[in-house]
Amino acid sequence: MNLLKSKNTTLPKDIENTIIKILESSGNSGMNLSELQKILKIKEDKLKLVVARLSRKGIVKKEKIKKEDGKIDYKIQLSTIKPVELKIELSTVIKIPCFTCKYIKECGIGREWSPANCEILKNWLESETNKIEQASK
């Protein structure tokens, strides 16, 4: 069965969703990349790119394995850590301290005033993170 045969299911997002559904149906044990490739009938390079994207998003985890024939494969499993969906509201964005900072014109990476080591920005981010954590409890 070629799950990606239809033109409507060849978009990367569709491939991602199809992979997620397959992994959900495979249970906790996951599936080898080579098995996934046989089911999806797409090129290995393309599949690796999609799996890498899912891994970066925290949706799947992959583990390098050595098959009996000595070849390298990857065990792909759904991550047990659910990705966090952040809702960003304009009211929060306009509170970013940089918008009202008197150092904004001098601020930049490698400069005296920099977001990389700014206590004002760090404190604001920690405060916002704490609010999100409190709201999710």
Query: Binding of ligand SF4 at residue 65 (CB under 6 A)?
Result: no
Q: How far is the CB of 67 from ligand SF4 (least distance, A)?
A: 50
Q: What is the DSSP track for 92-105? A: HHTT-GGGG-TTTT
20 scored as a contact of ligand SF4 (CB under 6 A): no
Task: Name which of residues 69 to 128 contact ligand SF4 (CB under 6 A).
Answer: 97-98, 101, 103-104, 107, 113, 115, 118, 120-121
Q: How far is the CB of 72 from ligand SF4 (least distance, A)?
A: 44
13's CB contacts (< 8 A; 6+ apart) are none
Closest CA relative to residue 20, chosen from 64, 57, 63: 57
d(CA 99, CA 113): 14
Residues in the site for ligand SF4, rule: CB under 6 A? 97-98, 101, 103-104, 107, 113, 115, 118, 120-121
